[in-house]
Amino acid sequence: MIHYEVLFQYEGKDLVLTHIFPDGKRDTQKVNPEEILEIEKLCSTLWHQSPTISQEIGLRLFNLLNGDTQRLVRALKEADARGEKLSLFIQGELDLPFELLYYSKYSDFLVPHKIHLVRRVSDYAHKKELTPKERPLKILFVACSPINAPPVLDFEKEEEAIFEITQNLPVDIDVEDTGSLQGLKDQLEYEEYDIIHLTGHAGINEDGPYFCMEDEEGFLHKVTPFKLWKALYDGMALPRLIFLSGCRTGQTPHAAFSFAHELVAEHGPPVAGWGLPVTDPAATRAAEKLYHELGRGRSVADAVFLTRNELYQKKLPDWCLLRLFSDGTDLTVPLVKKGQKQRPKQRDIQHTYLKESQVKVLKKGFIGRRRQIQKGIRSLKEDPDKIGLLLHGTGGLGKSCLAGKDFSGSFENQVRTGK
C-alpha cells in the first residue's frame, strides 16, 4: 500500500507543510496564511450540505497538498499503477475537512473512491504487532442520553439496526445499559472488546470537548477525553477501535484539540468521530456498514473507506464528516479472520434465573427500561422510609428482567413484581 504523509506544524508564526513521500524523501513548503484563511472562511458555512461549496473547499485543499510540483498527483498515479488505494496520513491538528479533497481531472471527490484518509495523531503504536483473531468480532455498545440533555436519543433503534445488519456474521454485541462512565468501567472489568461504540451527544465548551454520559440516576455527566481514557485504561485491555458516534467528536475547538484527537493522544487506540453535527440516519447507516465490514474480516482502513463510500453513494452529505484518528497502529490488519463460520450469538444464550426463583431473565443486554431503573434508584435514595419497589403490568413486558437488575447493589432484594 502506498503511504503518503503530510505534516502541518508551526515554526514561530509560520505554518510549514512537510511532505513525506512513499520512498521516504521529504520536502517542505511554507503555507500562505491567506490561503488557509480563505478555506476557513468557506468552512464557516454549512459547507457539507452544499455540493458547490464542498467542491470549492476540496479543490483548494487538493491544490494546497499538491503544490507546484504535483506531489499528490504523483502519489495517486503510483497507487493507481499498483492497483491500490492511496493511504494519506494528515498530521497536525489543522481543523480543515481534508476528507473533501477534490480533483478536477476526475471531477469528483477522492476520499470516497481512491484514498484511505487518516488523521495521524502520533507514532506511539507504529511497531505494535497485530494478528486477526479467529473468533467473533466483539463490540460493546454504550448509549448515552441524559434526561436533562435533550433531545433524547432513540438509541434502541440504532442498536437494533446494528444487531440486524450483523445477524448472519460472526459478531457478538454486548450492551452496557446505563450509559454511564461507571457502567462502562464495570463492563470492562471482566470483558475485552475489539470495538467500543459510544453513541450520544457531545459538545465543546471553554474547557474543551466533552461527551454527554449519564450518572446512575440518568442525569448529565460531562466526560472529558482523559476521564474516558482512564476508564478504558483501567479495563482488561484497550480495544482496537473506538467509534465516538456523537456530534463534533472529531471537530477541533479553537486553540485546542478534538475529543477524538485528545483520546488518541492519551495513548488511546484509533478513534472514529464526526467533524460536525451528524444526522441520525447517517450515524446509524455508518455504524451498520462499518460493523458489517469489520465482522466480515475487513481491516479498519478498508471498513472506514467503504463506510464513507456507502454514505456518499446514498447521497448522505455527512460522508465527509467521518474522521479517523490514529496512534500509528497498522490499520490494514483485520480485527478478525475472514471466512469464519457463524456461531451461536451470546445474545441468544445470555439468560439466567432470578435468585431463589425459576424465573428466566436476561443476564445482560437488557434494554428499553433504563429510565425505570434510574427512577427506582432515585426514588429509593430520596426517601429512606421506602423499603422497596412494586412493578406491575401485563405479562411479557419485562418486569422480571427489570426486577433482576442490580439497583446499585443495596436495592437488589427490594424489588417485587406483580401482574
Q: Summarize pLDDT for 241-297 with one digit per residue, the tens.
A: 999 999 999 998 766 789 999 999 999 899 999 999 999 999 999 999 999 999 999
Residue with cell 475485552: 192
Other beta carbons within 10 Å of 36: 16
Regarding predicted confidence, which is higher, 395 or 240?
240
Q: What is the Cα–Cα distance from 302 to 306, expressed in whole angstroms? A: 6
> What is the mean predicted confidence (pLDDT) over 62-78?
91
Q: Which tens digit of pLDDT belongs to each residue from 41-51?
A: 999 888 999 99
- In tens, the pLDDT along 51-60 reads 999 999 999 9
Res. 366: pLDDT tops 70: no
- Ranked by mean pLDDT, the top range of 86-90, 177-181, 402-406 is 86-90
Question: Each residue of 151-192: pLDDT tens digit?
Answer: 878 787 888 889 899 989 999 999 888 899 999 999 999 899
Which pTM does this prediction carry?
Answer: 0.86
* Confidence bin at 415 (pLDDT 50/70/90): very low
pLDDT computed for residue 377 by the predictor = 62
Who's near 318: CB < 8 A, 6+ residues apart? 48, 274, 278, 279, 282, 283, 286, 311
pLDDT over 80 (residue 393): no
- CB-side exposure of 341: number of CA atoms within 13 Å? 2
All cell numbers assigned to 221? 455527566
Write out the three cell numbers for 303. 471498513
Confidence (pLDDT) at 417 = 43
Least confident span in 33-47, 230-244, 297-311, 396-410: 396-410
Q: 100 with 320: CB under 8 angstroms?
A: yes
pLDDT at 412: 43
- Please, which pLDDT band fits residue 346 given cuts at 50, 70 and 90? low
pLDDT tens figures, 106-137: 889 999 999 999 999 999 999 999 999 999 99
> Regarding predicted confidence, which is higher, 129 or 414?
129
In the predicted model, what is the mean pLDDT of the chain? 86
Confidence of residue 411 (pLDDT cuts 50, 70, 90): very low
Residues 9 and 16: beta-carbon distance below 8 Å: yes
Distances (CA, A) of 282 to 102, 245, 289, 317, 320: 22, 10, 10, 8, 11
pLDDT value, residue 414: 47
Q: Which of 81-85, 185-189, 208-212, 414-418 has the lowest average pLDDT?
A: 414-418
